[in-house]
Structure formats: structure tokens, C-alpha cells
Amino acid sequence: MDAAGAAVGADPVGAALNASSTRPFDRATATRIASAFLPAHPLGNRWDYYYTRTKLGSDPLYPGVLQALRGSQAPLLDLGCGLGLLAHALRLDGQAMAYRGVDNDAAKIGRARKVADRSALADTRFEVVDLTGGPSPHQGSVAILDVLQYLEASTQWTLIDEAIAMLTPGARLVIRTTLGDASRRGRTSRVADRLANLIGWMQSRPRCYPDIDAMRTRLAEAGLRTTFSPLYGNPPFNNWLIVATL
């Protein structure tokens, strides 16, 4: 079966992403969110600003995740949150659920806290957590965005099982990951992830890319209603969005 848009069970979020959610933010929206990461001093480091503006303007990740979470008020745990871009996108979208972001990169968490405080993001907090040791307790929705490929296969399944156990009625499990295959996008993804580790942007090197059939089977066996949708955007990577509900 073709993986694109494939569903396991009926999906209340929609069997496929709509057209607007498969496109990156427009330039004005990307710039508005990224502006929160401008340095306080004109001569300060603008790396985070340019990185976030480029990512938001080229990658449909956040529009896709925003659509997946709309309609749920369940508290959200963002595993591997980085700079906390999802929190900014949620608030701009009018989604006010409690948000907690965790990441193993203490420097990014420090900058995420600083920018969130400066932007007065309500009901938002960030913590340094090593996901290989398991996330802290949570009940509600869970986002795992661009994280799984940096974990060993056994750790991936443990993290997914823990996330499933956190879900409550009406909550969502939202995963964006690069899937492992021999396509051109798959090969490009592996090279880009390795480079991100070599230059120090990612603390870990890629270890294992999830298999789409194994993911589909695992989520179905947990009794979840699930959709898989390609979420490519402008980057040449093999990125997919997985949305699951009880």
C-alpha cells in the first residue's frame, strides 16, 4: 500500500493534511515568529533569528503540527523542543493549551526560556531532559518532532510507548520524522543529519531511521487511529507527519 496519507482506523483530525498545512509559513509569518529571537543589542548574535526565519519559511513542519493539534485543549509535552519554536507558533495560532518543552541541549533550553519570557508566552515552560532516560510524567498530548532518528531503535520504541501511555481522551500524539528508505530524499536526509551533528547544531548523530510499516503496526496494535502524511516542503528531506489519537 502507498504510504502517502495512509490511515489506520478513522482519524478525527483528518485523513490527510490540507493544502495550507503542507506549505511553509509565508514570509511575513515566518519573520514575525523569528523576530522574537533577535538579539537585544544591534550587534548581538543573530544566528537564531536567521535560522528560525529560514526554517519557518521553508519547512511545513509547524503548519502541519498546528493543524494536527487544533481542537484539543490537552496539555502538550514537546519532546526535543530545541529553541521552542512550536510554543511561539501555537500562541500565534491562538492555541492556548499548557506547553512544556524538553531537550537535552542545555544551551538551547536556556535561549528558549529567555526568548519565551521576553515574548510573554503564557503557560509555557522549558526543561533540560535527556530523552534516553525517559521523559518526566505527563498526561495529555505529545509532540516528537525530528527526534526519533537520533535514537537507537530500542529507545525509539520505548519513547513511543511512553508517549502513547501519556495520551488522554481528545489528546494527540504528533510525530514528525525522517523515514528510512532508499529514495533520494532518504539519502539526502541521512547526509544532512550527519552534517548537522558535525557542525555542532545537533548534539547527537543520526542513529536509526524509523521504518514506516513497523511504525504503522506499532501504533495500530496500541489501538490508535493514525494517519501518515508526507511533509516535505522546500527541503529535500524524507519527512513525514504521523498523527495518532485514542
Instruction: State residue 191's pLDDT score.
Output: 62
CA atoms within 13 A on the CB side of 1: 10
Cβ-Cβ contacts under 8 Å for 151 (sequence gap 6 or more): 131, 132, 159, 207, 208
Instruction: State residue 238's pLDDT score.
Output: 80
Instruction: State residue 5's pLDDT score.
Output: 43
* pLDDT tens digits in sequence order for the chain, 246 residues long: 334 444 444 454 554 577 667 899 999 999 999 999 999 898 899 999 999 999 999 999 999 999 999 999 999 999 999 999 999 999 999 999 999 999 999 999 999 999 999 999 999 999 999 988 877 889 999 999 999 988 999 999 999 999 999 999 999 999 999 887 666 665 666 666 666 656 665 556 778 888 889 999 999 999 999 999 988 877 777 889 999 998
Can you list the domains of the chain with their CATH numbers? Answer: 7-245 (3.40.50.150)
Instruction: State residue 80's pLDDT score.
Output: 94
Instruction: State residue 90's pLDDT score.
Output: 98
How far, in Å, CA of 105 to CA of 128, rounded? 7
Residue 117: CB atoms within 10 A of its CB come to 11
With cell 501518515, the residue in question is 228
The residue length of the chain stands at: 246
Over the Cα atoms of the chain, what is R_g? 17
With cell 511561539, the residue in question is 88
Instruction: State residue 234's pLDDT score.
Output: 72
Instruction: State residue 237's pLDDT score.
Output: 75
Instruction: State residue 221's pLDDT score.
Output: 96
How far, in Å, CA of 2 to CA of 79, rounded? 29
